[in-house]
Amino acid sequence: MRDHQLDRFQTQVAELLLRHRSVLDVLSKLQETSARTNRSITKAVTNCGCLKVQAGKQPFTSASNFDTAKDAVDTHLSGDLCEHCRDVVVSEMGKHLFYLASACNLLDIHMRDVIEKESEKLSTLGLFNMS
């Protein structure tokens, strides 16, 4: 996403947010949209079946180098989101971004700055940034 698109989105959110202007409302909506995003992915597995989860212990050892470990570690996910589930997940993620932008606005933080700072940290710390 280009900087101007991100800035425009954040400005649109600031202009449109009327009902939940309290930081407490925004924080609760941010948590709610996170849960709804998780639930939409869960429903893709449990209701639709377009995704499957088969989890087990990750075969990561401290002796592994990064490339070997990266190839050995599994996402535990198979399949692809169907069109309907993708639409629902994207919609829920969009709502989450809306409230994230709202929180940024209330705290006078530019989303662009957050992304740039995280990107710089990833570039600088590389592998050591894993958390």
Contact in structure between 25 and 117 (CB atoms under 8 Å): no
In a domain, 36, yes or no: yes
Provide the residue range defining the domain that includes 12.
3-51+81-121
- What pLDDT, on a 0 to 100 scale, did the predictor assign at position 21? 80
- On whether residue 12 sits in a domain, the answer given is yes
Q: 10 near 110, Cβ under 8 Å? A: yes
Mean per-residue pLDDT over the chain, rounded: 87
Number of domains the chain is built from: 1
Q: Domain for residue 44, yes or no?
A: yes
Residue 126 has pLDDT above 90, yes or no: no
Note whether residue 115 is domain-resident: yes
Residue 117 has pLDDT above 90, yes or no: yes
Instruction: Kindly state whether residue 43 falls inside one of the protein's structural domains.
Output: yes
- Provide the terminal-to-terminal Cα distance of the chain, rounded to the nearest Å: 24
pLDDT confidence of residue 129: 56
116 occurs within a structural domain = yes
Evaluate if residue 58 carries a pLDDT over 80: no
Q: What is the pTM of this model?
A: 0.82
- Residue 115, domain CATH: 1.10.287
- The pLDDT tens digits of the residues spanning 7-46 come to 999 999 998 877 768 999 999 999 999 999 999 999 999 9
Residue 68 lies in a domain: no
Say if CB 99 and CB 31 are below 8 A apart.
Answer: no
